[in-house]
Amino acid sequence: MNTSLESPSKRVLVLPMQRQANPPHRILLVDDELSARELHVGVLIRSGYNVDAAQDGADAWKALTDVEYDLLITDNRMPRVTGLELIKKLRSEDMKLSVILASGTLPTEELERHPWMRLDAILPKPFTPTELLDTVKTVLQTADSTRPK
C-alpha cells in the first residue's frame, strides 16, 4: 500500500498497488512547498515506491521514529527543523538510512565541516522527474548492494 501523509491535517491518501514479490522501497519525502511535495510523491508512487511525505523536518522526525524507511529525500530550507538539522538528528541517533538532499540552496560549507552526515546524493533544485527517479534508483541500488544479506 502506498501512503502519502500530509501534515498538519495528517490526511492520508491510500492508493492501491499490485502485489509484488519483493516489497517496494519505503521513502520519506520532506518538502515545505506543497506543489513540489505533491509532484514528487506522485512521481515516486507511480514508479512503484511506497512513499510518505512530511512538510518539514519536525514532522519528518516523528515519521522516522514511527516507521522504518529505506530512503529520506529532504529539502533543506524549511520551517521548524531544516533538512540539515534533520540529517544531523538522524545520524546522531545512528539511523542507517540513505539520504538525498534535494534543495535549491546547497549548504556546501556546512556539509564540508560535517562529513559524518553522510549524504548519499545531492539533487539541486529545480530537477526533473527523470532526474529524481534516476537519483533514487542509483542510491537505493547502492544501498541494496552494500546491505548484508
pLDDT tens for the chain, 149 residues: list them: 344 444 333 433 334 444 444 568 999 999 999 999 999 999 999 999 999 999 999 999 999 999 999 999 999 888 889 888 999 999 988 888 999 999 887 777 777 777 777 889 999 989 999 999 999 999 999 988 876 65
Number of H helices, E strands in the chain: 5, 7
DSSP assignment string, 2-49: EEEEETTTTEEEEE-----SSPPPEEEEE-S-HHHHHHHHHHHHHTT-
Q: Say which residue the cell 491535517 belongs to.
A: 9
Does domain 2-16+23-143 sit in CATH 3.40.50.2300? Answer: yes
**Which residue ranges make up each domain of the chain?**
2-16+23-143
- Report the alpha-carbon distance of residue 53 to residue 59 in Å, rounded: 9
119: nearest Cα among 137, 102, 134, 144? 102
Name the pTM for this structure: 0.80
Contact predicate 88/118, CB 8 Å: no
Contact predicate 81/58, CB 8 Å: yes
pLDDT at 145: 82
